[in-house]
């Protein structure tokens, strides 16, 4: 994620994301973009979380310095002009960090998501992210024996990014099964 961020001219953002993934933020929200806004100073830090934000900023600086030492050239992922929207870049960078955590909502009114790795994950009941068709999950967890993980933080993923910067992460899968009720083959693709 840091290398791709550097190549795309988004090293500062990638370093902030890496710092937030390494440390806890001072925000209680499942929307990872709010954690980023807190780190970047757009959301006030309490006296309790000010020191935590300072530590995260220092860690982001360390990540940036380490990557800059590599002297990476800038390369555009798609050959198209990059998006200026921080929300899109946040989703792109998290997708490259965790391609197995790209998730599609299972039904329009639900809170359940199917991850690209085949696992199931769920948002809390009244989570504002439940309106998102696609998510990239930054933090999730579960308990032994449970088939569905809890989503602790995620960001909305714009579907149009699959045709651009995230195209390299997509694949078509065809499925062929024998339908015993109709004694025929059933073919599907996704």
Chain segment 158-177, per-residue pLDDT in tens = 998 888 888 878 776 666 66
Burial class (CB in 10 A: 0-12, 13-18, 19+), 153: buried
Mean pLDDT for all residues in the chain: 86
Query: Which residues is 114 bridged to in the sheet?
Result: 104, 120
**Residue 37: CB partners within 8 Å, gap ≥ 6?**
27, 43
**Stretch (H or E) spanning 88:** helix 86-97
Tokens of 132: 């998102």
pTM of this prediction?
0.83
Q: Are 151 and 122 in contact (CB under 8 A)?
A: yes
Alpha-carbon separation of residue 53 from 21, 28, 61, 131, 152 (angstroms): 13, 14, 12, 29, 19
pLDDT value, residue 103: 95
Q: Are 154 and 30 in contact (CB under 8 A)?
A: yes
Q: How many CA atoms lie within 13 A of 133 on its CB side?
A: 5
Would you say residue 77 has pLDDT above 70? Answer: no
Would you say residue 143 has pLDDT above 60? Answer: yes
Tokens of 49: 């979380």
Quick check: helix, strand or coil at residue 64?
helix
């Amino acid at each position: 994620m840091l290398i791709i961020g550097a190549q795309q001219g988004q090293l500062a953002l990638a370093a902030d994301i890496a710092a937030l993934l390494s440390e806890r933020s001072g925000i209680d929200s499942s929307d990872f973009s709010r954690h980023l806004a807190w780190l970047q100073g757009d959301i006030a830090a309490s006296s309790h979380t000010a020191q935590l934000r300072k530590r995260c900023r220092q860690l982001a600086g360390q990540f940036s310095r380490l990557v800059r030492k590599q002297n990476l050239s800038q390369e555009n992922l798609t050959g198209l002009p990059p998006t200026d929207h921080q929300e899109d870049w946040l989703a792109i960078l998290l997708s490259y960090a965790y391609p197995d955590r790209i998730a599609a909502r299972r039904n329009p009114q639900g809170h359940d998501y199917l991850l690209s790795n085949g696992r199931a994950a769920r948002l809390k009941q009244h989570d504002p992210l439940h309106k998102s068709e696609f998510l990239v999950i930054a933090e999730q967890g579960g308990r032994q024996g449970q088939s569905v993980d809890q989503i602790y933080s995620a960001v909305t993923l714009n579907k149009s990014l699959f045709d651009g910067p995230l195209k390299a992460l997509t694949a078509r899968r065809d499925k062929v099964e024998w339908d015993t009720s109709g004694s025929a083959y059933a073919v599907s693709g996704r």
